[in-house]
Amino acid sequence: MPYTLQHKKASRQRILESAARSFLYLGYERTGINEIMHDAGMTRGAFYAHFNSKSELYDKALTYAAANGRFMAYHKNDKVGSAWLKGMLEGYLSQEHFEGAETPCPLAFIVTDIANREPEVRQTYTRIYKRMNRLIAHYTENKSDKNNDEVFALTALMIGGVALSRAVDDPGLADRLLASCRQAAVRLLDEDGE
């Protein structure tokens, strides 16, 4: 008896959740389909009912992680303007984020992994990065006349701050990096006299 559409959607969701975790913490090369499917509670054969290749799964898992990660959680809250921006910076540039207690931002967690991937995966990363910039620009336009260069600087500071904090093996240094990035981001946002 064939599976229902709802069952197929739930199975795909479990695979994407497992893949996002694995890819974000281990990278593409160290993540295997067998491990993803085991974590999802499914067989390797079930993988091919949903995806054609590991590369396709990587692309879809990246999109899933971006849609369900820390940054999008801030986009969906009811704050606006500078309150949204400052709250988002506090959460994004936090120890909880770089430790990955919840779905982290793929832009920061796999930034170096992406550079070695297929063009389709790099296009997905670029699309997610552009969306992040558009969302931040939306909120900064509500409070000032920021230009795109300032938004690019802000997102580079955010992504780089989280990536560097994850890379160092000194927790005190990681905390200091995140705090410094938050302070610099607030100064960047406040340049227009806020």
Which is more confident, 173 or 188? 173
Residues 30 and 90 grouped into a single domain = no
Domain holding 136, by residue range, is 69-190
Specify the pLDDT at position 156: 94
Identify whether residues 41 and 137 lie together within a single domain: no
Q: What is the CATH number of the domain that holds 48?
A: 1.10.10.60
Alpha helix (H) ranges present in 79-170?
A: 81-92, 95-99, 106-109, 111-114, 119-141, 148-167
Is it the case that residue 113 has pLDDT exceeding 50?
A: yes
Q: Per the domain annotation, does 138 fall within a domain? A: yes
Closest CA to 99 of 28, 24, 29, 30: 24
The verdict on 120 and 161 lying in the same domain is yes
CA distances from 188 to 59, 108, 153, 174, 180 (A): 32, 20, 9, 21, 12
pLDDT at 107 over 90: no
Mean pLDDT value of segment 103-108: 82
Which among 134, 179, 187, 137 is positioned nearest to 161, based on CA atoms?
179
For residues 121-144, average pLDDT: 83
What pLDDT, in 10s, does the model give residues 145-168? 556 788 899 999 999 999 999 889
Residue 109 is assigned to a structural domain of this protein: yes
117 and 158 together in one domain? yes
The HSE-up count of residue 130 (CA atoms within 13 Å, CB side) is 6
Overall number of domains in the chain: 2
62 in a domain, yes or no?
Answer: no
Q: How far apart are CA 17 and CA 47, in angstroms?
A: 13
Whether residues 49 and 75 fall in one domain: no
Band (194; pLDDT cuts 50, 70, 90): very low
Q: How far apart are CA 174 and CA 166, in angstroms?
A: 7
Does 117 share its domain with 89? yes
Is residue 79 located within the same domain as residue 162?
yes
Is residue 137 assigned to a domain? yes
Name the one residue in this structure whose structure tokens are 């093996």: 169
For residues 142 and 110, give the distance between their C-alpha atoms in angstroms, rounded to a whole number: 31
15 and 75 fall within a common domain: no
Q: Are residues 78 and 126 in the same domain?
A: yes
What rounded mean pLDDT belongs to the chain?
Answer: 85
User: Which residues have CB under 8 Å from 171's CB, separation 6+?
Assistant: none
Query: Residue 193: its pLDDT value, please?
Result: 41
Q: Is residue 64 part of a domain?
A: no
Q: Tell whether 29 and 117 lie within a shared domain.
A: no
Residue 61 belongs to a domain: no
Sequence-distant (6+) residues with CB within 8 A of 181 are 93, 157, 158, 160, 161
Say whether both 76 and 24 belong to one domain: no
Do residues 165 and 97 share a domain? yes
Instruction: Look at residue 187 and tell me whether its pLDDT is greater than 90.
Output: no
Helix (H, G, I), strand (E, B) or coil at 144: coil
Q: Is residue 59 in a domain?
A: no
